[in-house]
Structure 1
């Protein structure tokens, strides 16, 4: 009686897999949001300095002198790219949430059918 039918076991395994995917997605989304905030902060600060100010950009372990306009362009491109990535992750998150709810409902239905037969 404690044994779950194979179909329910399969659905539970799928549910666990979807939950793990959702957790990984939340982590990715958090990282992208953090990078986006950092990029926006850098853009704000860079826009505050004079056009002829000495500006450096990071290249791995090095800081390299660069033109303000070039750094602004790079940061804007990075921001745009991160915005697109964040929107993509949000869509994936919606799909995974829908799949999670669908699996939960299927499991509930399977279990209620199973308990109905036992009674």
Structure 2
């Protein structure tokens, strides 16, 4: 049965379900990107911890390298790390809410399909 021949109520619920699944997948990818950046930051911080305080440090800014003090770079990285952790937590909470909503919609969709006598597969 094509989606066009489904009752409007089922079509609407299915569209809502697909949108939520897409949002869930997008958030999941965002979390993975944040976690990858956090791992990179942690590696850089570990490298910096092993350097002397007076060691020359160069930071990439756009297409150029800029000389910076070690403590400035560490401070910037720690700040970025904190921001990313907050963002990751926010996204994780959104994922949990979406997951609950998706399960509720799946249940509603099953009920609607049963109501209209529609079988899948």
TM-score by length of 2: 0.89
Secondary structure of 1:56 counterpart = strand
Cα drift, residue 49 of structure 1: 0.5
Q: Unpaired segments of 5 or more residues in structure 1?
A: none
Which residues in structure 2 correspond to 1:38-49 (within 5 Å)?
38-49=40-51
More relative contact order, 1 or 2 (CA 8 Å, 6+ apart): 1
Aligned residue among 111, 114, 117 for 2:116: 114
Cα drift, residue 113 of structure 1: 2.2
**Alpha-carbon distance between aligned partners in 1 of 2:99 and 2:27, rounded to the nearest angstrom:** 11
**Alpha-carbon distance between aligned partners in 2 of 1:92 and 1:63, rounded to the nearest angstrom:** 37
**Alpha-carbon distance between aligned partners in 2 of 1:69 and 1:25, rounded to the nearest angstrom:** 33
**Alpha-carbon distance between aligned partners in 2 of 1:114 and 1:27, rounded to the nearest angstrom:** 36
1:84-114 per-position Cα deviation (integer Å, ceiling 9, x unaligned):
0110111111111111111100001112222
Residue 76 of structure 1 is matched in structure 2 by: 78
Which residues in structure 2 correspond to 1:96-107 (within 5 Å)?
96-107=98-109
Residue 35 of structure 2 is matched in structure 1 by: 33
**Alpha-carbon distance between aligned partners in 2 of 1:6 and 1:67, rounded to the nearest angstrom:** 63
- Displacement over 3 Å in runs of 4+: none
TM-score by length of 1: 0.90
Secondary structure of 1:115 counterpart = coil
Q: Unpaired segments of 5 or more residues in structure 2?
A: none
Residue 18 of structure 1 is matched in structure 2 by: 20
Whether 2:68 is the aligned partner of 1:66: answer yes
